[in-house]
Structure 1
Amino acid sequence: MTELGNRLKEAREAKDYSLDDLQRITKIQKRYLIGIEEGNYDAMPGKFYVRAFIKQYCEAVGLPPEVIFEEHKEEIPKTYEDEIPMSLSRVQSRKSVSESSTKVFDFLPKLLIALFVIGALVALWVFWQGRVGDKAPEANPSENQSQVDVDENQSAEGEKPEKETPDKKQTDEDKPSDDQKADEDEAKPEQSLESVNSSGYKTTYELKNADEFKLQLSAKGDTWVGVYNTVDEALFEGLLKKDNKKDFDLSGEKQAYLIIGNASNTDISVNSQQLEYKISATDVVRQDIIIHYEPQTNP
């Protein structure tokens, strides 16, 4: 056992924490906690997790991570074989994603404006057609009235269109227009996935106006992930390789707790909507994502 491992273990025991308690607090698997205390860093899922796990351990037992890293810098790995290519790849990936995202965001407002203009023109056309349709039958009463003025004997026949036309008009007005149907469709709220709190390595989101809660994790590179339900039951814990995907149906849960070991290599999708990290994935390797789910209620 290393000097760092002894120090961490003593701090844990001073807090009266067992390894199981620490696992529940940090969400780090017990075997990795044992590896940290014994200085067996080869047991970690990847070398880039070592510092993140030690930092989590220190914060949980009340030790300042910066001081620990400085005092035990000879024991803690500080150069990784895969850090340099990973950092370069991360920068290139971030740049390409940023450029493609910029193009999409530049085009999106134009598309929305075009759709809005088209919708307004269609609504105006429908409204105009309705006005023309309403005015057309009104020509008959004026013609019949002229006939009444010319020939009083035919007044009874001239009055029939006057009675039938309002009835017909009233019937047409009772029918829902296309505009009313469109308004009803627009009244249905859209799904909302918003960040409500972000602190340190944790970010809390709220999922609203959704009939279901389906989660997908997609790996762009090696990443360790953990998925837990409302009662902190582990639904999945393990390492995802590049292009691996994991799907979860959490429609019956009120909360999902995600541990993302390598945020820059992990995409999160909720009901096909991409979740945006509020904390930079290049600054914080491990991130904990908490999603509160409020099922949509039908009126």
Structure 2
Amino acid sequence: MDEIGQKLRTARIEKGYTLDDLQQITKIQKRYLIAIEEGNFDALPGDFYVRAFIKQYAETVGLNADELLTQFQQDIPDTQPQEYVEQSVENRTRSERSSAASPVNKLRQHAVPIMIVVAVVIIVFGVYFVMWKSSQGPKQTVPTDSASVSVSSKKASSSAKSSTKKTSSSKKAASSSKKKASSSSKKAEQSVAVTTVSSSQQTATVTNLPKSGNKLTVAAPDGAAWIAVYVNGSISWQGTLQGGSDHTVDLPDGVTSFAVHSGNTPGTTIKLNDKTVDISGATGVVRTITFKLADSSTTGSGD
């Protein structure tokens, strides 16, 4: 190993640098650093690079570069002026360092991650905006059966009035006919008789239930109650009612049976077509009230 190379290598090791560290600091390729340490100057890209590389190596490991070059001047090729070598190698290295450390290059290095983050933010905001917009849309209301019945009744009444204006005799006949029809079609009043089977079971027998338009309303006036409503053997609705709230279930035409199961029966009220059902006869907190139709209910008529 050449003496100057040995001296440089010793200084590098004392500094704690590896060849990879030195390559990173000086930007001189590792193979050229090895060639300098071994005194194999012919492996360098040209004679005019030898002095520049040695000087940069020496300064990096803390040696006096000028004294080192003077001491081993006879071992170092000197085919180009020192100023040219310094400008062509050292200045180029400094330019590369300053270029790599410039804000523009740093911004370019982070441009892709920044663009990805911005894109993700835009997508998330877009999804949130679409969901918010859809939740603000107008809600359609479904007309109730009672409104349809009311309109039909008005039309029928108007038609009846126009027909009664033809002759006085037809008026008397229509009036007599209406009285008879009213008398014959008069509804029998709905009634509910509740029988206590056990502390957790009650049977409500319904008489004269209309054939259509029936509504069952459950409420929890004082405190929360979990309630389930069964229609014709299948569950129609279930949920927890908070104190002061209620829920109405429209019973289908031709219903044969229905039931109410409550987890807090003392705090639950039941209405069938706006008429309160008395369920106070049992003592169980959890209770099932089963509604059955009496035979006479089949004679009742709807609206």
Taking structure 2 as the reference length, the TM-score comes to 0.35
**Greater Rg by CA:** 2
